[in-house]
Amino acid sequence: MSYTTQMDAARKGIQTKELLTIAEKEQWEPDKLITLVAEGKVAIPANKLHTCLNPNGIGSMLKTKINVNLGTSRDLNDLDLELEKVQDAVSMGAESIMDLSSFGDTRKFRRKLTTECPAIIGTVPIYDAVVYYHKALGDITAKEWIDIVEMHAKDGVDFMTIHVGINKQTAHRFKDSKRLTNIVSRGGSIIFAWMEMTGEENPFYEHYDRILEICEEYDVTLSLGDACRPGCIEDASDISQIEELVTLGELTRRAWEKNVQVIIEGPGHMPLDQIAANMKIQETICKGAPFYVLGPLVTDIAPGYDHITSAIGGAIAAAAGAAFLCYVTPAEHLRLPNAEDVKEGIISARIAAHAADIAKGIKGAKEWDHQMSDARKRLDWETMFRLSIDPEKARRYRESSKPEKEDTCSMCGNFCAMKNMNRIMDGEKITIFDE
């Protein structure tokens, strides 16, 4: 039996090789997983032309996945450097790479990713249109915007962020309701500006059916972008954000009617106490479509440390139902991240995702911690390094401060509670001060 998308296959009862791979990775019965894919609660971003893909499922009941944003910009246009970052990101555990290139030969880089990189590849066609057509924003036609979507699909991209929720009605609501930081989504601000200058409807909204045809043909998962995501604590959960989310709910239903898989992008900046409620609202309005959160950053005041503000929000969001976390680096709000920033962002996002997985009872999550604690109790340093989320840093820190007694660490030395308790529990005597 033939099928178009992973969702179409699931609805026809076909267990694709991607689904079987994911079932094995997640320790799920394929029969149960296929139901979730058919219902849209798990997305399998897997463009038919991305043949080197190592597939992953995105859904709140599966292991929380993380995305890493990379790509060239006008100020830093080094393809080799970006490719090096991509390889590092994959080896550090990123399941997804979003290519946000906005300068140079973007197609060359994109094609390199979809022919060589096993991670899920995502893009934002809006950025690329501005680079590709090489003309003023207001001169880009509605057809040209849609053509870029098709080009990315043909290039093998697994998911695309389309800022389709900011239609004329949402834009009107946004202008009426006044925000402290307006629209902070890069793609959202571009398409809003285009709408303002041309007076036309958002082309992605107007030609949504055509976009669905493209996505169905290549099996591109739609990431419904949140142009109105709050860009500061004060704008969180405001009328513009909620108005757009309602539109995204409607667009989700239309995509599913065409067997097109969907994930929903989310906030943004958000106070800690609003995060769980936002996850619940999204789940209700978008009928359980996987939620892809960009943070949320729980405070605005920590430039240089936004990997931490984001990890705090990401852990809460994922524990409350988000399925996919976009990493944030210490360079957020300040500059394009360098290799070290990328590493810190990835590790922070992975910690957030894993913390949520423990809370959600995801298979294998707690067992990892159990093994680490067991190694700690036994003062088995090599096993601790192996199990560390960042083995290199763990080893480097220990080696930078050698303890007098090899089995302890320089934190407590002779007072090592682990060592002393092991000995006491074994019936030994300890003196501590003269050992």
Among 111, 418, 422, 423, the residue binding ligand SF4 under the rule CB under 6 A is 418
Give CA–CA dist 142/168, Å, rounded: 15
* Structure tokens belonging to residue 274: 């609003």
Among 1, 136, 301, 417, the residue binding ligand SF4 under the rule CB under 6 A is 417
Residue 351 CB, nearest approach to ligand SF4 (Å): 19
Contact present, 326 and 294 (Cβ < 8 Å): yes
Give CA–CA dist 188/333, Å, rounded: 17
- The 101-140 site mask, x for binding ligand SF4 (CB under 6 A), equals ----------------------------------------
Residue 384 CB, nearest approach to ligand SF4 (Å): 9
- The 195-234 site mask, x for binding ligand SF4 (CB under 6 A), equals ----------------------------------------
* Structure tokens belonging to residue 419: 């060592």
Contact present, 100 and 124 (Cβ < 8 Å): yes
Extract long-range pairs of 231-234: CB within 8 Å, 24+ residues apart.
Answer: 231/179, 231/181, 231/182, 231/183, 231/184, 231/185, 231/268, 231/269, 232/180, 232/181, 232/184, 232/269, 232/300, 233/269, 233/270, 233/271, 233/299, 233/300, 234/179, 234/180, 234/181
Ramachandran assignment for 62, one of left (phi > 0), alpha (psi -120 to 50 degrees), beta (any other): beta
228 is in an annotated binding site: yes
Name which of 230, 242, 358, 359 is nearest 297 in CA terms.
Answer: 230
Contact present, 313 and 298 (Cβ < 8 Å): yes
409 is in an annotated binding site: yes
Residue 389's contacts (CB-CB under 8 Å, 6 or more residues apart) are 347, 350, 351, 354
Residue 194 CB, nearest approach to ligand SF4 (Å): 57
Residues pairing with 293 in the sheet: 266, 325
Return the number of the residue (308 or 416) whose C-beta is nearest ligand SF4. Answer: 416
Return the number of the residue (180 or 412) whose C-beta is nearest ligand SF4. Answer: 412
Give residues 384-413 in contact with ligand SF4 (rule: CB under 6 A): 408-409, 411-412
Residue 350 CB, nearest approach to ligand SF4 (Å): 23
**Residue corresponding to tokens 């239309």:** 254
Residue 288 CB, nearest approach to ligand SF4 (Å): 43
110 is in an annotated binding site: no
Residue 416 CB, nearest approach to ligand SF4 (Å): 3
Q: Which stretch binds ligand SF4 (CB under 6 A): 93-101, 236-244, 361-369, 417-425?
A: 417-425
Return the number of the residue (178 or 397) whose C-beta is nearest ligand SF4. Answer: 397
Q: Give residues in contact with ligand SF4 (CB under 6 A).
A: 408-409, 411-412, 416-419
The binding site consists of 69, 98, 127, 163, 185-187, 226-229, 265, 269, 292, 333, 409, 412, 416
The binding site for Zn(2+) consists of 269, 333
The binding site for substrate consists of 69, 98, 127, 163, 185-187, 226-229, 265, 292
